[in-house]
Amino acid sequence: MTMQQTITNKLTAAFAPSFLNVIDESENHRGHGGWREGGETHFRVQITADKLQDMSRVNQHRAINEVLADELASTVHALAIEVKNT
């Protein structure tokens, strides 16, 4: 399973989003810190989920980072998060 699919599966299970888009932006960061051959190091998450709506922006990001803690501690170097309102 790719890291993109792992992130998608974990966020879907945790937040039941009405919209979720996980984009591998690794190639845009070629040569930058944390980049590796083969990608799967830099991701952008665009998500809309009722479970995130009543949280502050900081708490939304904390909740997502908590769900992806293992990935952030190992493979994923950078995660951009965009929480969209319903």
How crowded is the C-beta side of 46, counted as CA atoms within 13 Å? 5
Task: Give dist(CA 52, CA 13) in Å, integer.
Answer: 13
Instruction: Please report the pLDDT score of residue 31 as a whole number.
Output: 59
Confidence label for 25 from pLDDT (cuts 50, 70 and 90): confident
Q: How confident is the model at residue 6 (pLDDT cuts 50, 70, 90)?
A: very high
Give pLDDT tens digits for 38-85. Answer: 567 889 999 999 999 999 999 999 999 999 999 999 989 889 999 998
The residue-averaged pLDDT of 5-16 equals 98
Which domains does the chain carry? Answer: 3-83 (3.30.300.90)
Largest CA distance in the chain: 39
Residue 2 — very low, low, confident or very high, per pLDDT cuts 50/70/90?
very high
User: Which residues lie below 8 Å from residue 25, measured CB to CB, with a gap of 6+?
Assistant: 42, 43, 44, 80
